[in-house]
Amino acid sequence: MVGDSEENDDCVIADEMIYIPEVRNEKRPKVGMKFDSLDFVYDFYNRYALLAGFSIRRHSSGREKYSKEILRKEFVCCKQGVFKKEEPRAVKRHRGISRCGCKARVVVVKVSRCKQYAFSLVVEGHNHTMTPPERVHFMRSHRHISEPAKLLTKQLGSADIPTHKKMSILEVQSGGMEKIGFTKKDIYNFEYYESSLMKNHDVELVTEYFLAEQKNNRSFYFKIEGDSNDRLTRCFWADVTSRLAYGFYGDVVVLDTTFNTNRYGLPFAPMLGVNNHGQTIVLACAFLSKETTESFIWMFEEFKKAMPGGEPKMIITDQDAAMARAIFEVFPTTFHRLCIWHITTKFSDKLPRTAYEEYWKEFKETIWEIDNIDEFEEKWHAIITKSGLTDHSWLSSVFDLRKSWVPAYVKHIFAAGMSSSQRAEGSHAFFKQYISRRNSLMDFITRFQRALSHQRQKELLVDHIDAFEKPQCALLLTMDKQMAEIYTKAMFQKFEQELMQSLPCFMELKMDDASKAIYKVSERKRGKTRVTEVVYDKYSDQWSCSCKGFEFIGILCCHALALLKREQIEYLPNKYILNRWKKTAKSGLVSDSNGNEIKDCENNSLLIKRSRMSRLASDVIEHALMSEEGCDVLSNNLNDTRVMLKLLNDGVGPSEVGGSSSQTRYLKDPKRVTHKGSSKRVKGAKEMRMERGIRHCQQCGQTSHDIRRCPRMANTS
């Protein structure tokens, strides 16, 4: 309603319209009303403002001279005061003017006798219209993110749910956008505030997390190191599940660093393996500030300390010189294999275009289909001579490295069927669904653990399938039924495929004497006949094939299986059944270098405890929501529990955090680093041509036209 003008300074300036909110009398503030605290005063006046259609804020205070106790407090309308125009300056955003000199306010003073606050002045008149009910929830004092909403927002954020979807979830939960109690911008501000709290404490939080995990299970291993300024430079960790996995599947390790996983630009180096289902598993993780030989040596040394069972048989990496030197120094008996994919994909960029188009098919057949070393070298030299590339520096360099990547040279060493680090590339793509370059280290650890638990759930699922289901055999052979009982489903399918391919193989005895027999086995595949040589050593009772399938994959090849069938051997001998591919591969004890058993203490992880308690709390809340009485009972009990837990936690000092004494010194957050992989990726000529849409003329090779507009074709016509 509109009131009359007054000359009293406590209202508004003369000749201005005065707007008195229309609110029920019992909800209005009145002089003499008393409250136990200033918070109660604010809540009461803010509820009145919500009904009236305006927003409030705290204003001036009067304090006692010595004790600084607040004796007088003023709460005003959000439009109190006037805009003061300042000197022009560069600003990031231009805000509108909201203040118009409104005089509506309340003043409380402290009553000395009862230690309460009482209204001493109430001015209800405003010099502006009231905000209608459908818009009042946008006003600042009526927007507040409650503690449950903050917790839910954090949980949704850890699940990579964007802010606009969080608002949709909260809308459904609250019953409408106007009932949420805050806006999307408030969520952004809250997340920024939470992130700022972690600033300069990131490494401290990570260290506390690792120490807590180590306290729950002493088999958790981690090491953090810093520079001379006590800033983190490298970090290594491996949980108990990873250490146990290395004890069972630590024969082959794949390593490839990745970037854009954290706000500091630290390269992330996960060390990966393959389980008995052929799935990728994480064996250990590290952050390195520099990709130098020294850093890789430190990482590999920590890996050796953490992992049971000695050095791996093979490590597969890309062509990184610093990594190669570190592997040679730390793992002298481990075979270092270079990723064949990284090398073969460079042929299109390194070779002249015409040479690549004409001879790449021959290069590919030579690399992949020849098993004999002498035959490979002869064919290689024949191709480069024929193509005129004998002096090509890059071809010469990769040929010098042939013993590290060409299958003919490396297939005699077990690699679980892997010839490249693409398994690491796939793993990076999987984990980057959960993490981003904006993550702090603690955010990364939390999100990475969640992604890791999803990955391990897939392993548990196939373990469950193997335990409760028996695969169907496509062949009515005793050996097929035998391996269906022993191998995991994934490995059995590979074995059965080899067994089926052995059926049409043609065998010819090449030589037979007192010590050995040599067979020539022909296999028809993709319209081509492939001939391999299978040798039977009579003294050791051992079959070996020139394709090195068993040595490379760990499953007997079709050529050897064809001869076993010819010799009427019904059951596959145990010497050809690797334990790592069995259903029972994870049975047995695993001990560290000190002889201590590595145990997986179930349900002791912080994440598992949190998950268990969250499920319990969710069930209790669902039952309480069925009635008002249930909500009251639960609220009272939760308040009592919160007080008790606060008292309990206040008695726990920092000295009670478990872990190794070497890691109780907290380091500072790392500085942003730049590295060789942080710049924009260098694209090959072929990829750049495809992006630009440039095509070469197939007749003359020029880029100014295609074959349809080629002058040579016109002259020919």
Alpha-carbon gap, residue 12 to 103, rounded angstroms: 6
Q: How far apart are CA 52 and CA 365, in angstroms?
A: 82
For 379-390, b/e burial (b = at least 16 CB within 10 A) is bbeebbeebebe
User: Could you give the angle at the alpha carbon of 697 between the alpha carbons of 691 and 702, nearest 5°?
Assistant: 85
d(CA 233, CA 381): 47
Closest C-alpha among 90, 441, 425, 417 to residue 261 = 441
Beta strands 528-537 and 314-317 are unpaired
Place of tokens 């191998």: 487
Report pLDDT for 452: 93
* pLDDT at residue number 33: 92
CA-closest candidate to residue 452, choices 608, 329, 602, 599:
608
The pLDDT value given to residue 661:
37
Q: What's the rounded Cα separation, in Å, for the pair 538 and 531?
A: 22
Identity (one letter) of the amino acid at 467? Answer: A
Residue 430: φ, ψ to 5°? -65, -50
Q: How many CA atoms are closer than 13 Å to the CA of 31, on its beta-carbon side?
A: 5
Query: 304, 270, 309, 302: which is closest to 286 by C-alpha?
Result: 270
* Residue 65: predicted pLDDT: 79
Q: What are the mean pLDDT values of the chain's consecutive 10-residue runs (717 residues total)? A: 39 62 89 92 94 93 85 94 73 77 93 85 93 91 89 82 87 86 89 80 91 90 91 94 94 90 90 95 94 95 92 94 95 95 92 92 93 94 93 94 95 93 85 85 90 93 93 92 95 95 92 92 85 93 94 95 93 95 89 76 56 76 80 82 71 36 67 64 55 62 68 61
- AA letter at 552: F
Contact indicator for 407, 551 with CB cutoff of 8 Å:
no
- For the stretch 562-585, pLDDT in tens is 999 999 999 999 999 999 999 999
Q: How far apart, in whole angstroms, are the C-alpha atoms of residue 508 and residue 523?
A: 12
CB atoms within 10 A of CB 656: 8
* pLDDT score for 691: 56
CA atoms within 13 A on the CB side of 334: 27
Decide: 556 and 542 in contact? Cβ < 8 Å: no
Q: With beta carbons less than 8 A apart as the criterion, state whether 243 and 308 touch.
A: yes
Which burial class, exposed, middle or buried, applies to 85 when counting CB atoms under 10 A from its CB (0-12, 13-18, 19+)?
exposed
What pLDDT, in 10s, does the model give residues 472-510?
A: 999 989 999 999 999 999 999 999 999 999 999 999 999
3-state helix, strand, coil in the chain (%, to 5): 45, 15, 40
Cα gap 315→334, rounded to integer Å? 7
8-state DSSP, 292: S
Find the radius of gyration of the CA atoms of the chain.
37
Q: Determine the Cα–Cα distance for residues 297 and 304; give it in Å rounded to an integer.
A: 10
264 in Cβ contact with 284 (< 8 Å)? no
Round to whole Å and give the CA distance between 12 and 560: 101
Task: State phi, psi for 18 to the nearest 5 degrees.
Answer: -115, 125
Query: Alpha carbon 11 to chain centroid distance?
Result: 60
